[in-house]
């Protein structure tokens, strides 16, 4: 007689089920922790608290994020590495433009760079290209001109653009610059009310142009609408 022995291989409960304890965390978990840690180390109340650059959060230079000086970035950097490896959306993408910055700042309670914003240059347009306008007064106020203008209308949207037709200074002592206001409207204005409006002309682009040509500090006689105002800086 032949004896047939049937052997059944029975494993424990862990061998039949997938071990979930060692599985990687999902991006939902990582992103939530990363956002919380980011808020914790970047929160601020004043610019003096900020100044610790968080390397690896962008393509370098002034695009990297900034944290408080007293913050410990260890957990942040660990989450950044984990999330990057897992392909999570951590919000660190940038255009790599590396804008100029002068130290650090606290903006909306978040540490960041103190970006230097270049004044927008004046276009080489002319007042004759736009709507009729009267200029009743021009007053210097710091680095701006307060210009009182008048025009007919009242039913459409009107706006003004500061023009520098010559794009150069008239050589004199001091030098002179002639500005104009281009008055435009979004659609023909059927109303005939007489509107008086204050237009603020930023003079910082003119100051920057002067400094590029003559160096820091000086005076410009600014002409606008028949008025001449000395602007010193």
Instruction: Please state the length of the chain.
Output: 233
Contact 59, 52 (CB under 8 A): no
For residue 127, the model assigns a pLDDT of 96
**What DSSP state is assigned to residue 170?**
B
pLDDT (0 to 100) of residue 120: 74
Q: Are 112 and 61 within 8 A, CB to CB? A: no
**What pLDDT, on the 0 to 100 scale, is given for residue 7?**
36
Provide the pLDDT for residue 118. Answer: 67
Domain ranges of the chain: 26-115, 127-232
Q: Report the chain (233 residues): mean pLDDT per 10 consecutive residues.
A: 38 41 78 96 97 90 94 97 93 78 93 83 94 96 95 92 95 96 92 94 93 91 97 95
pLDDT at site 61: 86
pTM over 0.85: no
Q: Is 127-232 a CATH 2.10.109.10 domain?
A: no
The DSSP-derived string for 121-153 is: PPPS--GGGS---EEEEEEEETTEEEEEEEEEE
Spatial distance between the Cα atoms of 43 and 108, rounded to a whole number of angstroms: 9
> What backbone torsions phi and psi does residue 81 show, to the nearest 5 degrees?
-65, -45
pLDDT at residue 92, as a whole number: 86
Spatial distance between the Cα atoms of 34 and 82, rounded to a whole number of angstroms: 10
At 86 the pLDDT is: 92
Quick one: pLDDT at residue 204? 92
């Amino acid at each position: 007689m032949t004896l047939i022995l049937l052997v059944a291989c029975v494993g424990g409960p862990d061998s039949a089920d997938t071990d979930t304890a060692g599985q990687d965390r999902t991006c939902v978990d990582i992103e939530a922790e990363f956002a919380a840690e980011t808020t914790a180390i970047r929160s601020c109340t004043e610019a003096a608290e900020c100044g610790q650059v968080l390397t690896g959060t962008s393509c370098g230079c002034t695009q990297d994020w900034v944290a408080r000086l007293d913050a410990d970035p260890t957990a942040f950097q660990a989450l950044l590495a984990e999330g990057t490896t897992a392909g999570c959306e951590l919000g660190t993408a940038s255009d790599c433009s590396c804008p100029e910055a002068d130290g650090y700042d606290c903006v909306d309670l978040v540490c960041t760079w103190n970006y230097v914003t270049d004044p927008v240059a004046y276009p080489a347009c002319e007042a004759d290209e736009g709507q009729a306008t009267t200029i009743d007064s021009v007053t210097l106020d710091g680095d701006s001109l307060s210009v009182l203008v008048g025009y007919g209308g009242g039913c459409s949207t009107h706006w003004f653009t500061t023009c520098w037709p010559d794009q150069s200074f008239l050589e004199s002592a001091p030098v002179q610059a002639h500005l104009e206001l281009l008055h435009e409207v979004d659609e023909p204005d059927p109303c005939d009310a007489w509107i008086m409006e204050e237009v603020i002309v930023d003079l910082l682009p003119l100051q920057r142009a002067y400094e590029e040509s003559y160096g820091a500090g000086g005076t410009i006689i600014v002409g606008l609408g028949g008025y001449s105002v000395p602007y010193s800086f």
